[in-house]
Amino acid sequence: MDVPTGGQSDRQPTSSSPPIGLRRITPAMLPADRLAERFAGGDITPGQALAALKSASPRLGISPRAIHALDWLFRFTQPQDWQPGARPIVWPSAAMQAAELGLTETHVKRLNRHLVELGLIAMRDSPNGKRYGRRNARGRIIEAYGFDLSPIAVRIEEFRAAAEAHRAERAAVAQLRRRATIARNSLRQTWQTYQERQIADPALSGLKLAASAASQALRGLDTAVALTTAVAGLETIAGTARQALEISLAASTNASSDTVEMCPKGHQNVPHITPTNQNANPSDTVMALEECSLVQDYGIPDEGNGRAKTGSGKRTTEARQDRGSIMKIRPDELVRIAPRLKPYLRRASPSWPEIVDAADWLRHDLGISKPLWGDACVAMGREQAAIAVAIVSAKPVEHFRSTPGGYFHGMVAKARAGNLNLSRTIWGMRAGSPDYPMNPRIPN
């Protein structure tokens, strides 16, 4: 017994039904027929076929309206229609299709033709041009005229490959946009440093114009190929601007170590000494070492004869080396303990002025304001302020009750009160670093 399918017209026209105009065939519609002829059925379900098509539609440029129309047609197909020996044909009436899609019948005809020209469906016309079909008691189609969905099954691997390519493209675009954001942030930091330190550079205006043009060129680009060139250009400008800033800073440092404005309040020739309280415990030699090393390694200028006093009261003419130890730690050792300084250094063996410059960049990432950095320079001295920033950067996020900037503020307050002991913290960091043995013995 023939079983009609709900939602689709199951009336078979009689021989007395008047014929209507035949469908007009265009060259663009012929490939869909050839695709349909290749359908042999297999291990595929309607859901898999539709999902593959939807995921590939952005890559193939298939409009949402077309996808919606196909999604509606798939409501009338059943899994057995996609098996070997069968064919997934659906036959909803033109009036039903127009009503469900919210279109006129004329617009529906244009949409159907568009789907055929895209190679997504093929038309199976009856002798009189009507759509109809019949299923047997097991639900298998025994006769049908209407929309043949088999081209989608034939192209399913093509759709899956297109979907994967689309995902790869989107991932590449997202990565390129992240690179563009990093380059823009680098440029903002560079311009901010030029402004804060009042550096006069004749190339600055040209760099800003080039950066603005490169950033504008990124707008409207949404393909990896186009973005790759544009982002590379922006990164080149950001690198050039950073290099120009480094040259200007190096020139200022060579002219005078105090020329570069490290302390916004205008303090210069700040003694590089951290006040500390005397430790009451004679067994703890850390603070004694600190007091001794601060004077020995970084002498206090004596206005009487221009020499430096040492901890023993003797005078010496030996100048402090830029790569010498401060608080019993050398610049390269500080970088090993606080590796977040590395991206802001130009070489593996930096000097203390370079550590100070790197710390000034790093403090921005830690949320330490410029005024607070200036207060630290006044309270501790620039090198020890840089060491304090490095210590903050080496601590895990869960160590801070509020923020790294708030923690650094507390360190500055302790330095003002004479209660800051950075040496003890440095020894603790050494003990926790893989570059040092556990529980190192503090030298006598």
**Spatial separation of the C-alpha atoms in residues 258 and 269, rounded to whole Å:** 7
Select, from the ranges 278-292, 299-313, 364-378, the one with the highest average predicted confidence (pLDDT).
Answer: 364-378
Checking if the pLDDT of 257 tops 90, the result is: no
C-alpha distances out from residue 109 to 77, 93, 105, Å: 20, 12, 6
Q: Where are the alpha helices (DSSP H) in 74-202?
A: 94-101, 105-117, 150-154, 156-196
- Average pLDDT over the chain reads 78
- Exposure b/e, 154-174, CB count within 10 A at least 16 = b: bbbeebbebbeebeebeeebe
pLDDT value of residue 348: 80
CA atoms within 13 A on the CB side of 5: 25
Checking if the pLDDT of 296 tops 80, the result is: no
In the chain, % of residues over pLDDT 70: 75
* pLDDT class of 23 with cuts at 50, 70, 90: low
* pLDDT class of 230 with cuts at 50, 70, 90: very high
Instruction: Among 117-126, 155-164, 306-315, 433-442, name the one with the lowest average pLDDT.
Output: 306-315
Instruction: Among 47-51, 313-317, 339-343, 383-387, name the one with the lowest average pLDDT.
Output: 313-317
CB within 8 A of 51, min separation 6: which ones?
none
**Spatial separation of the C-alpha atoms in residues 57 and 159, rounded to whole Å:** 8
Largest CA distance in the chain: 126
Checking if the pLDDT of 433 tops 70, the result is: no
Pairwise pLDDT comparison (257 vs 378), residue with the higher score: 378
Give the residue-averaged pLDDT of 171-189. Answer: 92
Pairwise pLDDT comparison (60 vs 197), residue with the higher score: 60
pLDDT value of residue 254: 61
Question: Among all chains, which residue has been given the structure tokens 């196909």?
Answer: 70
DSSP per residue, 218-246: TTT--SHHHHHHHHHHHHHHHHHHHHHHH
**Spatial separation of the C-alpha atoms in residues 301 and 270, rounded to whole Å:** 11
* pLDDT class of 286 with cuts at 50, 70, 90: very low
Give the residue-averaged pLDDT of 37-59. Answer: 90
First to last CA, the chain: 104
Give the residue-averaged pLDDT of 223-238. Answer: 92
**Spatial separation of the C-alpha atoms in residues 313 and 88, rounded to whole Å:** 100
Whether residue 41 contacts residue 86, with contact meaning beta carbons closer than 8 Å, is answered with yes
Q: Which residues pair with 132 in a beta bridge?
A: 145
Give the residue-averaged pLDDT of 171-193. Answer: 92
CATH number assigned to the domain with residue range 27-154, chosen from the 4 options 1.10.150, 2.50.20, 1.10.10, 1.10.287: 1.10.10
Instruction: Among 204-208, 273-277, 374-378, 420-424, name the one with the lowest average pLDDT.
Output: 273-277
Task: Write the DSSP symbol of residue 342.
Answer: G
**Spatial separation of the C-alpha atoms in residues 299 and 308, rounded to whole Å:** 5
Checking if the pLDDT of 365 tops 90, the result is: no
In the chain, % of residues over pLDDT 90: 39
Domain ranges of the chain: 27-154, 166-255, 286-432
Tokens standing for 151? 């081209």
Question: Among all chains, which residue has been given the structure tokens 């298998």?
Answer: 140
**Spatial separation of the C-alpha atoms in residues 63 and 71, rounded to whole Å:** 12
Supply φ then ψ for residue 324, to 5 degrees: -75, 180
Torsion angle of C-alpha atoms 147, 150, 151, 157, degrees rounded to 10 = 150
